[in-house]
Chains A and B, each alone.
Chain A
């Protein structure tokens, strides 16, 4: 687990973002245990308080859950998992739209280009995961 943090967004927000990406990409599975906050702080090289804050927010969002004294786990709630995926996609698309709009690219041309590039990239990676 190695994350390059930027200095202008809150670190805990970036940590949550990182978890969401992992979940959306299927690298973290529903019900999987997450590292303790101490472990997470060590692995990501962040202050243990920040790790704590990120977990607290994630717990509030329902992204992770804790049963009794067991380690926290990724939620099995399909609705939340779906929402995460959707949120990330939406975010990416919005960013993308902002930048293509800034150069006044026409929609159909852009869509065509997306399809082409997307396929190229998938073929290049050998379609390692879907």
Chain B
């Protein structure tokens, strides 16, 4: 446990600079964005020859969900997602291809090699959660800014849940309910473990491993989606939604467990420096 925590800390330390840059870009872009966007709206209202009420009636009021579909808001999110996906690969490959082959050190630590895998996965997950919580705080701050810039008549205030609802795809990142949060991020976590297993296949068998990894990933995802596939084939209402949910939960745990077990096996028996 002590070694696992040290490894998590170590992995976080290795990416912290890039991570802080991502955070800075997100804050700057979104805060600057909300100021520019709100001021533009108010500006247009002022320039129009109508009263504020008339302007609002004609053009609608300004809402957070409008702002959330601009590049100011979505750009940094897309960047962070891309960076973290890239990080999932980087976190392994730099140990082999970095200037000094650090993987020697990692594999010779007097600790279960599974800890290396778990530490890397935890680092990814902590970084994701960190960015998501930052986004929640930013949403509140942005709405507050919007409220100070835009007069009451020109705006409609929203709760965080409404923001998620109105923007559709952002619901994935900011689900309404706690269960939604658990299942979305649970799936994310499972995907990370599937990807890590595929990477370890490649690190163990090189070219052949890419194929093995791809096959494993496809298989794992298929197994997880089996209830949905069955629904598709046998007709939509063959299973109750709760049954689908429970089946996917079970399969998700199974796939994650299998991935961890396979990674453990590959790390202990097949991986090569």
Direct contact of A and B (CB under 8 A): no
Please give the residue numbers on chain A whose beta carbons come within 8 Å of chain B beta carbons, in ascending order.
none
Using a CB–CB distance below 8 Å, which chain B residues touch chain A? Answer: none
